[in-house]
Structure 1
């Protein structure tokens, strides 16, 4: 990192200047994706400023998505993120493959389960009826970047095979038939601490946060054909929302897309850490 000077007589707050200095280092390539930033103590010593100034600068950069923090390890430069828009007729896999990425899935769970009340409500199930549960890791160039958890009416996926789910998009499967073609998606987006079971499944540290998009997909008859959630490690994902007020019933188009340099992901995200809880 190049330690460009602070202008202490400037009307610009010191924490804003500090954030701008770090951002300049990132933009000019002096700080590379997934590399650590200097410690708070080091920055305090170099710039002869308070810890609160440094922390406010880092918080500003974290909010803007330029850096991310890992508990007990410090702050790191975020990978560059891709943002784009998709429609219900375009799968995430197709979007990624069109941009040259090698997409794969690792199937964790595939079977019939009794749905909880939330899944019943989303799939409009009113009696005793099992659903198909699909849980799988999302991978780019063999690096785990997310997790799918889907529920479907059994009648829709009775011809599903496990090998299909390891290689193909469920959206593409649904859109291959007129009866199940997706015409509308309702989504809710939130950021959360990763749950213990998901951290273990994804083989990451429990300090990670995730970006979660819960959704229900409907066909042209307004029947729900798929519900569930897509989860991404938050440092590699972005949500882009576009609204068109010129359309009478305007809705948001939402996408979560991983970052570019997956082969440079932090090594500790792919290793069993001795500090991970049992």
Structure 2
């Protein structure tokens, strides 16, 4: 777009109008991230002050969110998780184009909680990972896994979704999962890890997954920031 530089409409408003139109058209989907200030400066051949005025206008209009050190995003951009598709939490982020990563909080062999003893026996593996999008914490995943998963390589476990880890070690596909969704206040430890205020009510996804032979593959809980996440049904993506 070429700006009309002798136009009575200020250049920053022209830039804001162009970006507004692109937001409406879905140009910045799926992540919702806009170009950097430097990229916008180069595109329109204007100063940083002009770009910042344009972004401030869009911010006032409620169209964007400016996150310090992370960039500018379409306001209200949410991760969508298709609960009728058999897919790991991390995979659901990656397939939408988000810059998603996982950070291990804990990986250890533990005594199986009494509630899960019938699923895993006396010993199991606890895997806790922080899920981040564009370096922003979005959820904490806590998975109880079979005992044979306790010697997982930590680097590998930070790169691979849960289902891929299980298939690699067990040599068997995950073929079914039971999912429940709720909301509740959680411990200060969890709210601290995902950077929300204490007593914040989080979305909680509970999932129990099974191998082809009917054995339990995992019992997981995901504690999710609700303003950044949406569960959907009826998507036409085939079950995998």
Could you tell me how far apart the structure 2 residues matched to 1:132 and 1:120 are? 12
**Residue 158 of structure 1, CA deviation:** 4.6
1:135 to 102, 109, 128: 128
**Residue 198 of structure 1, CA deviation:** 0.7
Equivalent residues in 2 for 1:198-213, closer than 5 Å: 198-213=190-205
Q: Which residue of 2 aligns with 1:235?
A: 227
Q: Which residue of 2 aligns with 1:31?
A: 62
Could you tell me how far apart the structure 2 residues matched to 1:154 and 1:227 are? 13
**Residue 172 of structure 1, CA deviation:** 1.6
Change in 2 beyond 3 A, CA 1:82/1:116: closer
Q: Which residue of 1 aligns with 2:17?
A: none
Contact 2:107-2:150 within 8 A present in 1 as well: no
Could you tell me how far apart the structure 2 residues matched to 1:107 and 1:138 are? 9
SS in 2 for 1:87: coil
Q: TM-score, normalization: structure 2? A: 0.62
Q: Which residue of 2 aligns with 1:94?
A: 91
SS in 2 for 1:83: strand
Contact 1:104-1:140 within 8 A present in 2 as well: yes
Q: Tell me, yes or no, if structure 1 residue 151 matches structure 2 residue 144.
A: yes
- What are the Cα deviations for residues 126-147 of structure 1, in whole angstroms up to 9, with x where unaligned? xxx2111011110111110000
Contact 1:179-1:219 within 8 A present in 2 as well: no
Structure 2: state its 5+ residue gaps. Answer: 1-59, 67-73
- Aligned-residue RMSD, C-alpha: 3.1
Could you tell me how far apart the structure 1 residues matched to 2:167 and 2:64 are? 37
Equivalent residues in 2 for 1:32-51, closer than 5 Å: 32=63
Q: TM-score, normalization: structure 1? A: 0.54
SS in 2 for 1:99: coil
Change in 2 beyond 3 A, CA 1:116/1:91: closer
**Residue 179 of structure 1, CA deviation:** 4.2
Q: Which residue of 1 aligns with 2:31?
A: none
- What are the Cα deviations for residues 69-96 of structure 1, in whole angstroms up to 9, with x where unaligned? xxxxxxxx971324353632x3333332
Equivalent residues in 2 for 1:205-224, closer than 5 Å: 205-224=197-216
